[in-house]
Chains A and B, each alone.
Chain A
Amino acid sequence: MAAGVALLAAAAPALADSKGDAKSQVEFGINVAQRGLWREAIYRWEKAVELDPTYAAAYNDLAIAYEHEGQLDKARKAYEKAIELSPNNEPIRQNYELFKEINDRTTVGKDK
Chain B
Amino acid sequence: MIGRPLAKTSRLALAAGAALVAAIALACGPDTYEIPIETPIQPKLDVSAFQRVLVAGFVAGGNEDIDANQETVRLLRSQLRTKSSLRVIDADILPLVEVAQDQTAGSAAATDEAAGTHDRAAAAPKPAPPASAGSAADKSAQGLALAKNIKDEKDLEPYERLFANTAYWKRIGEEFQNPLIVTGTVLFANRSTSGIVQRDQEVMDPYGRRRVVPVRTYMERKGFLLRPKFVFIDGRTGATMYSESYREEVLYNAQQNTPALSSYFELMDRLVPNFLSALSSQKIKGTRVLLK
Contact = CB atoms under 8 A, between A and B. Distances in A.
Interface of A: 23, 26-27, 30, 33-34, 56-57, 60-61, 64, 67-70, 72, 89, 91-92, 94-95, 98-99, 102, 105-106, 108-112
Nearest to A66: B39
Given A105-B277, A106-B41, A67 B35 contact: no
B244 to A, nearest CB: 6
Interface of B: 31-33, 35, 37-42, 44, 242, 244-247, 273-274, 277, 284, 286, 288-292
Contacts of B290: 30, 33, 60-61, 64
Contacts of B32: 91
A56 B290 CA distance: 11
Main secondary structure of the interface of B (DSSP, over half): strand
B33 A94 contact: no
A68 B39 contact: yes
A30 B31 CA distance: 11
A30 B290 CA distance: 7
B42 A70 contact: yes
B234 to A, nearest CB: 16
A61 B291 contact: yes
Contact of A30 (B33, B37, B40): B33
14 contacts: A23-B292, A34-B35, A57-B291, A60-B289, A61-B290, A61-B291, A69-B40, A70-B41, A95-B288, A98-B288, A105-B41, A106-B44, A110-B244, A111-B245
A30 B289 CA distance: 10
Nearest to A95: B288
B190 to A, nearest CB: 21
B31 to A, nearest CB: 8
